[in-house]
Chains A and B, each alone.
Chain A
């Protein structure tokens, strides 16, 4: 197992190098840079000076080498837009993404697991069809469209929830009042994320449960004369939950880097939101930092999914 993990970690190195080159190329292909995109009244000489200070006048290869050699040491450079180290900026905003995504993830799991199980146990029943319809719509609807609908219904028409942001403008609340205020602002984006994740998780749980129910040991359990409840909830459910564990690993990138569109629409100050704004002000160090973060977390999440699967299920051997 240790050897397996070590090999997987080593495999990540070329992938990450390739990813960083690709991302650097794409972001640097764009004509114009932070200086020209900034607007304002700068003379050509001033622009040249800023470019020189930010090393934007050097050839791309040198720029990449400079960035990569620093990135290995954990220094992702300075964000142009925030004038702070990228690591600091990410660290400031990542937790906003995390609380939003984590709460949606937990709640969607809590709802989706029972839904998936019932749907599988009572396959082709009315409940199953209803749940399938919910999942189908949840998967098919663009998140930005539900976000807009919720804003219209709950924030604009009914005025139940705020339209955007994480706190009131200029809010100075602390302690419990702060928690309540953030939770109040979080509700709509939380609802959107929960709905979209719920659909995927439910389909996943249902498929996994259906797979288990077909197996011989379930038939044996029934033949022994066990009650159907015991068969389903004690024997089948346990094994059906194994693939669901991998979901946790696979959700890691999403938990930390947030949902870009949802955060943008609700102006939720998370990683997705700052990545979105970084594109427009040409803040390449920040963009590079964010995208590399997603890449690293995706790879680690995949690895954790595989490892946790093997830890829980003795039938799986990692090679």
Chain B
């Protein structure tokens, strides 16, 4: 008798696991996504906390110590103005990471809400919005972003504000893919019984969309937007490398690579540009690892 109760208890315990719990357990078991998470954590700490611990400032110049190679005093060496690259990497990373993250926030807000509205209302609204998505999916993003960079330079927008404009430009040009994804997800749950119940209850459209549908598609949004952060970081670095994104004196990882426009720098001072490049690579790799881990943990079909 007692043993029977015990078995029941055990079975109950297994059943009680909430979806969130299952998600955590799966994520914790995934070794590669853990690696990704810890690299990301390092990057965030490095850029957020790092500057407080560094003896140098982003723009501490010391002409007597220009072009030092990596050494104990300057872990990553110094640049033409004698600025410490290690410290500059921290400040640059703040910009690169925040542009990456916030442009995806813009993307999610725009793409997510348009996708929910299109999927929920269907019909004419849906076909108009989807044509808009088609338009945004077939325009080439890079020439437009570069044009945007030229416009910013023409309007003499201050270097400290350019990252903010960049977030919006990148976000507003890349929402279409996410929008299509969200719409598809919404379409698949629109006809389910619980949605019919919300209609029978007479809930307002807004409440049905954002209180009842959104939570059921949020997992897809999380996975896609995590992966998109990596893409946004690369886009920002490309633009800044071309001199069209973040411009000096504000540093970003891509902007630091711009030193190679002088061939001499490229050949003789490789630490100036290889280190920022490796940091971009590491960050994007870790985002992809972590994002894939999230996808596997959140996808109920993928249980192995």
Residues of A that sit less than 8 Å from B by CB:
14-15, 18-19, 22-23, 26-27, 29-32, 136-137, 139-142, 144-145, 148-149, 151-152, 156-157, 257, 260-261, 264, 275-276, 279-280, 287, 290-291, 294-295, 298-299
Contact = CB atoms under 8 A, between A and B. Distances in A.
B252 interface: no
A83 B132 CA distance: 34
A247 B260 CA distance: 35
Given A137-B281, A295-B138, A142 B274 contact: no
A136 B289 contact: yes
A124 to B, nearest CB: 9
Contact of A276 (B146, B234, B267, B288): B146
Contacts of B289: 136
Task: Kindly state the interface size class of chain B when it binds its partner.
Answer: 35 or more
Contact of B234 (A27, A142, A257): A142
Contact of A149 (B131, B277, B287): B277
B139 interface: yes
B284 A140 contact: yes
A4 to B, nearest CB: 17
B72 interface: no
Interface in B225-246: 230, 234, 237-238, 241-242
Given A14-B131, A26-B148, A30-B147, 14 more contacts: A18-B132, A19-B135, A23-B144, A30-B150, A30-B154, A32-B154, A136-B288, A141-B284, A149-B274, A261-B142, A276-B146, A279-B143, A280-B150, A294-B139
Nearest to A137: B285
B267 A18 contact: no
A156 B267 contact: yes
A101 B147 CA distance: 24
Interface of B: 131-132, 134-135, 137-140, 142-144, 146-148, 150-151, 154-155, 230, 234, 237-238, 241-242, 254, 257, 260, 263, 266-267, 270, 273-274, 277, 280-281, 284-285, 287-289
Contact of A157 (B241, B254, B267, B288): B267
Closest 9 CB pairs of A and B: A140-B284, A145-B277, A298-B138, A140-B285, A295-B138, A294-B140, A18-B135, A15-B134, A30-B151
Given A151-B266, A261-B238, A275 B281 contact: no
Contacts of B273: 148
Contacts, number: 107
23 contacts: A15-B135, A18-B132, A19-B135, A19-B139, A31-B151, A136-B288, A136-B289, A142-B238, A144-B238, A145-B277, A145-B281, A148-B257, A148-B277, A149-B274, A151-B266, A156-B263, A156-B266, A157-B267, A260-B140, A260-B142, A294-B138, A298-B138, A299-B138
B214 to A, nearest CB: 28
Contacts of A298: 137-138
Contacts of A137: 281, 285
A291 B139 contact: yes
A64 to B, nearest CB: 16
Nearest to A31: B154
A285 to B, nearest CB: 14
Contacts of A261: 142, 238
Contacts of B143: 260, 275-276, 279, 287, 290-291
Contacts of B257: 144-145, 148
Contacts of A19: 135, 138-139
Q: Is the interface of A mostly helix, strand, loop or mixed?
A: helix
Contacts of A294: 138-140
Given A152-B266, A156-B266, A139 B288 contact: yes
Nearest to B274: A149
Contacts of B139: 19, 22-23, 291, 294-295
Contact of B241 (A22, A144, A275): A144
Contact of A148 (B131, B137, B138, B260): B260
B285 A136 contact: yes
A152 B281 contact: no
Q: Which of A157, A291, A299 has the most CB of B within 10 A?
A: A291
Nearest to A141: B281
Contacts of B238: 142, 144, 261
Nearest to B237: A142
A68 B295 CA distance: 44
Contacts of B242: 264
B289 to A, nearest CB: 7
B242 to A, nearest CB: 8
A93 B134 CA distance: 27
A142 B281 contact: yes
Given A15-B138, A31-B154, A294-B138, A140 B281 contact: yes
A27 B138 contact: no
Contacts of B241: 144
A31 B135 CA distance: 24
B138 A279 contact: no
Contacts of A14: 131
Contacts of B266: 148, 151-152, 156
A306 B137 CA distance: 16
A19 B134 CA distance: 9
A29 B169 CA distance: 14
A22 B141 CA distance: 12
Contacts of A151: 266
Nearest to B267: A156
A26 to B, nearest CB: 6
A273 to B, nearest CB: 12
Contacts of B135: 15, 18-19, 22
